[in-house]
């Protein structure tokens, strides 16, 4: 048996690599590590020390979109933020970009769901401290981000 430490990076096929790059840069704060003539981009998350966290490979504007549960394949990627106020700022950015598709409290995580310009789904989440998991319970329920911020002493953190 071997040990997997964590997911290091993900690579997505996208219709328009420059448009996908702009989305991940402008909405999620990823920075450019390397570009391959506008056909592929390697991006680093703003809190990461990886070489790259996301690769985007353009395959053409007429390519079909993700299967959305209609065929086998990736369902979504999950990006973890460091603080609860970061999650609030992510929600604002995703909503302003028209990308926010859902919000859930899973007990162990507080999660936002969104889609990039190609319809690739992703999650941005804050991990609840482990010592709270059992008392909070698990499952999927409505996210009360304002209530969580207030309860944890972070009310009114938006810029």
Task: Please give the structure tokens belonging to residue 7.
Answer: 């997911």
Question: Which pLDDT score, from 0 to 100, does residue 87 have?
Answer: 95
Assigned CATH for 76-159 = 3.10.180.10
How do residues 143-157 score in pLDDT, each as one tens digit?
999 999 999 998 765
How do residues 59-98 score in pLDDT, each as one tens digit?
999 998 888 777 777 889 999 999 999 999 999 999 999 9
CB atoms within 10 A of CB 152: 13
Average pLDDT, the chain: 92
Question: Which pLDDT score, from 0 to 100, does residue 2 have?
Answer: 80
Q: Are 109 and 71 in contact (CB under 8 A)?
A: no
pLDDT band at 51 (very low <50, low <70, confident <90, very high): very high
Alpha carbons 109 and 13: distance in angstroms, whole number:
28
Q: Are 10 and 56 in contact (CB under 8 A)?
A: no
Alpha carbons 46 and 24: distance in angstroms, whole number:
11
Percent of the chain with pLDDT over 70: 97
Residues in the chain: 159
Q: In the chain, where does the domain assigned CATH 3.10.180.10 lie?
A: 7-61, 76-159
DSSP per-residue string spanning the chain: ---------EEEEES-HHHHHHHHHHHH--EEEEESTTSEEEEE-TT--SS-SEEEEE--TTS----TTSSSS--EEEEE-SSHHHHHHHHHHHHHTT-EEEEEE-SSEEEEEEE-TT--EEEEEEEPPGGGHHHH--S-EE--HHHHHHHTT--S---
Which class is domain 7-61? Answer: alpha beta
Q: Are 66 and 13 in contact (CB under 8 A)?
A: no
pLDDT band at 133 (very low <50, low <70, confident <90, very high): very high
Rg (CA), the chain: 17
Find tokens 């999660």 and name the residue: 111
């Amino acid at each position: 048996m071997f040990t997997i430490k964590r997911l290091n990076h993900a690579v997505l096929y996208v219709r328009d690599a420059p448009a996908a790059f702009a989305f991940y840069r402008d909405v999620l704060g990823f920075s450019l590590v390397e570009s391959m003539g506008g056909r592929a981009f390697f991006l680093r998350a703003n809190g990461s020390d990886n070489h790259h966290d996301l690769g985007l490979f353009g395959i053409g504007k007429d390519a079909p979109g993700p299967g959305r549960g209609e065929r086998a394949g990736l369902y979504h990627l999950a990006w973890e933020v460091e603080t609860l106020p970061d999650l609030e700022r992510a929600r604002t950015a995703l909503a302003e970009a028209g990308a926010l598709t859902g919000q859930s409290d899973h007990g162990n995580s507080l999660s936002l769901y969104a889609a990039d310009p190609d319809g690739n789904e992703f999650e941005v989440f804050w991990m609840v401290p482990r010592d709270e998991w059992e008392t909070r319970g698990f499952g999927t329920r409505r996210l009360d981000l304002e209530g969580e911020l207030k309860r944890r002493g972070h009310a009114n953190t938006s810029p």
